[in-house]
Chains A and B, each alone.
Chain A
Amino acid sequence: MASRYRCSLGALCMLLIMATAVIAAPTFVLPPLVRPASTEHHPGKVIWTDLVTPDIAGAKHFYGELFGWKFNDVHIGASDYSVALLNGNPVGGLYQRAVRPGEQRQPAWLTFIAVRDAAAAGRNILAHGGKMLTPTHSYPDRGQQAVFADPQGAVFAVLQSSSGDPEDVLAAPGEWIWSSVLTHDPDTDAAFYQDVFGYEVFEVPSNDGSTHILLSTDDYARASLNALPADAAKRHPHWLNFVRVDSATDTAARAEALGGRVLVKPFTDRHGGLVAVIADPAGAPFGLLEWTDTDSKQGAK
């Protein structure tokens, strides 16, 4: 009997040790979006982006040289993550995800949209035809986030920031300034995003005959929805984020020199400034957008 008691006690000790080890395991700590924390919330605003890449070292070199970003590395478990900073402020994350030999994957920037309640947003997304790719997960300091695909297949994430949402200010050069959804059917996709995030929806006049839609909250433009080009069968619906630059032409040339590719050459967009689309050396697409304080010149004509 005594030996049985000792055996049970030993098992209990083992369990306690295992439980302690699990509880004390390092958690993936991401920095808060806002320091000091605020009570501002802007549901529907794009408040974060994460690059998923097989080559985080190459990405850091490319984006560091191109935009002057600095990086804070986070190594936890098998994950390599780095927070990109501009003037000390976080502008995005770089996440290394291995690609198995022989496997071909498309690196991308993941777009995070602000929500007040990530779990409720998830239920709402599913109810309107979206698909959950990752369930809601809490990260200390950051908040709760989950990844979804809209009904057309464009991947995005929602983020319930525990430190509030970044204030509505004009992005500085080197910061993300704009986001677009390129999709097969902007009309029905606009209804999806409106139902989920409560956007006010504007049709934007265009000269190319295709549908251009603007999503807005708080009286600010948040994103555009655009029809994919005519050869849409070769193209997958996706979100595309744009970094503000002083010169899209110069930045595109520098991106090529750093190993990137120009996907869309700089052209004059409806606001009068130049826009371009680049692929980083691993193939992740992102946009460049010029914006000045006088960017009402085309619309004001």
Chain B
Amino acid sequence: MKTLVHGRSMRGLMIIVFAAAAGCVAGGGYDGGAEVGYDVGFYEPFGYDYGGWGPGYGVGPPGRGFDRGRGGGHGAPHPAYRPAAPSRSMPSLPTRSRNR
């Protein structure tokens, strides 16, 4: 009887230890677990071209004082996004340098 209790206790303890170890490894939510390594390395699809920008193509940030109304309009009359209020001026990059 004593041995039987011992055996059951042992099995129970083993389950608890295993569950505790598993709990330490796997987190909640979206966490996929503490893998050894880095798991965000993604390659882009292969076989596509980059560049090909024509004259007038602009990607950079506007300079300070950039006029929102300058140039021709081109966007959708009713865009899917909520446009900034007309009173808002065009934002640019920070001007403050890092203190070093």
Q: What residues make up the interface of A, taking CB atoms closer than 8 Å to B?
A: 1, 4-5, 8-9, 11-12, 15-16, 18-19, 22-23, 25-28, 50, 52, 76-79, 81, 87, 95, 97, 99, 104-108, 110, 118-119, 122, 132-138, 144-147, 153, 155, 157, 167-172, 177-178, 180, 182, 187-188, 190-191, 194, 200-214, 216, 219-221, 224, 226, 229-231, 234-236, 238, 240, 242, 263-264, 267, 269-273, 275, 277, 279, 285, 287, 289, 291, 293, 295-300
A275 and B61 CA atoms in complex are apart in Å by 11
A205 and B90 CA atoms in complex are apart in Å by 11
Q: Are B50 and A180 in contact (CB under 8 A)?
A: no
Q: Are A271 and B41 in contact (CB under 8 A)?
A: no
Q: Are B91 and A220 in contact (CB under 8 A)?
A: yes
Contact of A264 with B53 at beta-carbon distance under 8 Å, contacts A19-B20, A270-B66, A272-B63 already known:
yes
B contact residues, total (Cβ < 8 Å): 78
Task: Tell me how far the C-beta of A256 lies from the nearest C-beta in chain B, rounded to whole angstroms.
Answer: 14
Main secondary structure of the interface of B (DSSP, over half): loop
Q: Which of B24, B30, B73, B95 has the most CB of A within 10 A?
A: B30
Q: Are A221 and B61 in contact (CB under 8 A)?
A: yes
Nearest A residue to B92 via CB reads: A221
Nearest B residue to A230 via CB reads: B54
Q: Are A137 and B65 in contact (CB under 8 A)?
A: no
